[in-house]
Amino acid sequence: MSMSCKVACIVFACCVLVPTKLLAVQAAHRTEHSLWSQTRALTESELAALVSREATSKEAQTARIRALLTQSDRAINRSVVDATRYLEEAEALITTQEDASVVALAIRCQLAHRQSLPGAAQTCQQLTQNDRSQDAFVQAFAMTTRMYYLYREGSHQESINAAEHALSLAMVVDDPALIASAHNMMGLYFSTRLRPRMSVPHYEIALEQASRVPYAELKTITQLNLASSYNYLGRSREALTMLYESRGSQVVQIYPTRRLVVQSMIGQVRAALGETDGAEENLQRVIDEVGETVLPDGMTYGYTGLGVIQLAENRPLEALDNFDMVLALSGKSLETDLDYSRIQLMAVPYARALRMADRLAEARDLVLRIIASVPGDQPDQQLLDAYLELAVTLEALGDSEGAKAANEEATRVESTLWDASFKYQVERLSVSLESDRRALELARAQEREVALLSLAQRESRLRRQTWIIGAMIIAVIALFFSRRAQKRIADAQRSASLALEDQVRERTREMEDEMALRMTAEVDRIKLTERVMEGEKLRAMGQLTAGVAHDFNNLMTVVTLGANQLKDDLLPVENPDRAETIDNIRQAAETGAKITRGLLAYVREQPLNPEYLNLDEFLRESTALFRNTIGERIVLDVEAAPCSVLVDKAQLTTALLNVLLNAREAMPEGGRITLTLSAFGDQARIQIRDNGVGMAPHVLEQATEPFFTTKQHEEGSGLGLSMVFGFARQSNGDLHIESALGGGTTVTFFLPMAEARTASASDVSTASSNVPRAVRILAVDDRPSVLRVLKRSLSRMVDTVICATNATEALAMIEQQGLPDCVVTDIVMPGEIDGVGLVRTLRQRSPSLPAVLMSGYARDIDDECVYLQKPFSYDQLERAIEEALSREVESVPAHANG
């Protein structure tokens, strides 16, 4: 063989055979982690078929090992025995596969720690040596196992760090099970610290990813965690739906403790929703079924649920017994173990039960200990609940200032929790965007790698062909074809390089456009989240305001009637100071009632007392009041055309004063206000125009929003125009505001016109009582203080007054003493029968029985019942009874919103 032929053979081997082998090795390494992901995406039947298939090659044997390890990992949550069997079978087949051995070690760690086997800690510690595998999936799987191990060991900060690392690795391999596990771990971290607002986003992402995996265990566990956080945040209906969906799953039915936890959570959520019928019986049945198989510490879940249910049913003593059982089973104390997880769940309910059992001092001391146990720089949901409970307890103890301070602190803690949650979401968004950016870079790098590989393969084929041809004819025209081949290769490389650059530029532009769209979508989502958060705050404030107003109205009823009774008892009064003191008490009670109506007007639940009003006469009579209110530096012009409306006179006066005061604030140096009344179609239009500083567009847009104010924090609450707007809408009218900077402000009321009428005989109160002394009256109210003062007031009208604290007790008295001549009852009372139900029951016996219904809420009552809004005076009570006795009842009331 000539020298030229030898050179040609050597060149052929170097340029063709060696590169081909290297490319094959690189391709095998790149596809290894995708094989793990493909195996984990198989269904149970597909995995079983893969395991049972005969391994005729090394690749088939490796696939069988992956299938066995996947089966073992899935079986952990439903059968430790099956998981161990699959693992041992896989370990027997593993020889030199380092990736498979790391996965097997991670599963072994999970099983050892779940069963508390000796050496579990040493087994799990070996997972730190992840340098044995370069595969991203295997590293992510090992890190996911390690994060759960650290969490169960109580190393929460280390567990969250491991979860962050596991998530970054899981995102690279795009494995939904690993992503779900990492987010579930982050949610557990914040749930353990009682910060549900920060745990919910992680659980929701985990649930979304878990829904993509072909087995339901991971989804069920995530649903249970998410349901707990939903219940903490008041999203109880969503929590109950998830719990009912999870209750019948295999992973819950197999483990008695999980069955007990799920049923306990269902009972607590139903208690939060006020749907406790059958909840206690269902939970007690599960406790009896699993009692012998669940450890004492696990039984604490059941007794906690029983206590919460009984607390919702106003059975504090029974609730305390179950809470004490939790303490006994866990071996913990409320004095020293408030940071223990089981005690954290029941500490505030325990204090609430003490308060409801009238053990107020103990309740206050326990709540103060709870507050002291929470680090000041790490507020959580328990701290917020504790401050709210402290406010109610202090109010019951008569410490109004302390209750107010506790409510303010609760508001501050809630705001802090929302702010922390928002900041954390922003941080997570930044991390997500950075992760997306890296993923895009990785995708681009992979695409470039694929393009380069394809180009290298084409070049390799071209080079191989060139050298084969050159080797065949190199002896004849070696130099000629050599130079020509080199030029052809150079042109091909140049063309390939230009084509690759064009592709890279085009892909880069597409990625930049996609990134801009994602940023816009994330900004829109953040804005929507802020609006939802604000809406939840306003709904919570409305519920709190309505509840406080109801209780306050009951207290004002006692004060108002008590003042009337004191004044009547002391007449004739020899000491003018006493008479003046009694009048001051009565006036203070009336002021408190007005404040309550103002609060209810804010949440649009204030009961209005509309009357036919000649607006022109009303404005002329009120002009002096308006001028005294705005001061001497401001000129008030009133122009009124005849108009009649049906409106609450007191609320209209308050609304006009609010607007006039705002106009006065807009003219600190003095000015002119014009108040004009005119007819506008079928509506009366009241315009209040000032020449003050006016409002900027963004201020005008938010002027009627609650809590929005341009004043200093100490000078205004931001509720004035909001209450005015609520009153206008509640009166079937509307409110418009026009303003411009430097151009003054015009506020326009629109109220529906009504035909004026003269006062009828029924509208004029009589000075003397027409209630016969021989009338027997049944008085029913669940508040002892209200019932006592109501009985004394009724005893001044009639000779016989029968008292009861609830409907059941009242019906029992009637069975013994016969039907009364008139019923005076509260609407909202504990028990199966409320005030409306009591009247309905009695009118089945006597359809014409007179009835007066009382309530601290706004109510729509059937016209055949007289409604008395708390608080009321003695004269109002007397007129209500007169009206009830004078009516002829035709049928039983069909409905009342009580």
Query: Looking at 308-322, 447-461, 495-509, which range is the least confident one?
Result: 447-461
- Residue 674: closest CA among 703, 640, 625: 640
Token pair of 521 as six digits: 């979508």
Average pLDDT (454-468) is: 80
Strands 634-640 and 776-780, how do they pair? unpaired
Q: Are strands 734-739 and 745-752 parallel, antiparallel or unpaired?
A: antiparallel
Neighbour tally for 164: CB within 10 Å: 15
DSSP structure class, residue 827: S
* Helix pair 835-845, 807-817: axis angle to 10 deg: 20
Q: Give CA–CA dist 182/170, Å, rounded.
A: 8
666 has pLDDT over 90: no
Predicted local confidence at residue 291, as pLDDT = 77
- Residue 800 contacts residue 824 (beta carbons within 8 Å): no
Task: Read off the pLDDT band of 713 (50, 70, 90).
Answer: very low
Q: Give, as one character, the DSSP assignment of residue 131.
A: G
For 450, residues 6+ apart whose C-beta sits below 8 A from its C-beta are: none
What is the full DSSP assignment across 729-798? HHTT-EEEEEE-TTS-EEEEEEEEB----PPPGGGSPPSS----TT-EEEEE-S-HHHHHHHHHHHHTT-
DSSP 499-559: HHHHHHHHHHHHHHHHHHHHHHHHHHHHHHHHHHHHHHHHHHHHHHHHHHHHHHHHHHHHH
Dig out the tokens for 435 from the structure.
């992760």
State how far the Cα of 236 lies from the Cα of 269, in Å rounded to an integer: 6
| Tokens 């005969």, residue located | 54
Torsion of CA 628, 634, 635, 639, to 10 degrees: -70
Residue keyed to tokens 């958060």: 533
> Is beta strand 851-855 parallel, antiparallel or unpaired with respect to 866-869?
parallel
Contact 179, 215 (CB under 8 A): no
H or E element that contains 872: none
Taking the C-alpha atoms of residue 111 and residue 93, their distance in angstroms, rounded to an integer, is 19
Instruction: Examine the pLDDT at 760 and tell me if it is beyond 80.
Output: no
Q: What is the pLDDT of residues 514-559, one digit of tens each?
A: 888 888 888 878 877 876 776 576 567 666 766 776 677 777 788 8
Asked if residue 188 has pLDDT above 60, the reply is yes
Q: Using one digit for the tens of pLDDT, what is the confidence trace for 383-437?
A: 888 889 888 999 888 888 988 988 888 898 888 877 777 777 776 666 666 656 6
Out of 347-351, 720-724, 867-871, pick the least confident.
Answer: 720-724
d(CA 885, CA 848): 10
Q: Provide the 8-state DSSP code for 294.
A: S
Size of the chain, expressed as the number of residues it contains: 898
State the residue for tokens 């878990």: 210
Return the pLDDT at 798. Answer: 92
Distances (CA, A) of 150 to 74, 107, 119, 183, 819: 20, 15, 15, 15, 70
Report whether 630 contacts 636 (CB < 8 A): yes
Check if the beta carbon of residue 256 is closer than 8 Å to that of residue 293: yes
Q: Which of 281-295, 662-676, 797-811, 884-898 has the lowest mean pLDDT?
A: 884-898
If we measure between CA atoms, which residue out of 533, 409, 711 comes closest to residue 719? 711
CA 133 from centroid of its chain's CA atoms: 43
Confidence of residue 14 (pLDDT cuts 50, 70, 90): very low
Tell me how far apart the alpha carbons of residues 382 and 37 are, in angstroms, rounded to a whole number: 41
Which one has a higher pLDDT value, 735 or 419?
Answer: 735
Q: Do 196 and 463 touch, CB atoms closer than 8 A?
A: no
Query: For the whole prediction, is pTM greater than 0.75?
Result: no
3-state secondary structure of 441: helix
In order of 188, 556, 567, 578, 587, the CA distances from 582 in angstroms are 59, 14, 6, 6, 9
The answer to whether the Cα torsion of 332, 333, 339, 341 is positive or negative is positive
CA 285 – CA 688 distance, rounded (Å): 67
Which pLDDT band holds residue 601 (cuts at 50, 70, 90)? low
With contact defined as beta carbons under 8 Å apart, do 538 and 706 qualify?
yes
> Is the sign of the CA dihedral 400, 404, 405, 409 positive or negative?
positive
How large a percentage of the chain has pLDDT more than 90? 13
User: In the predicted model, what is the mean pLDDT of residues 287-300?
Assistant: 82
Q: Rg of the Cα trace of the chain?
A: 39
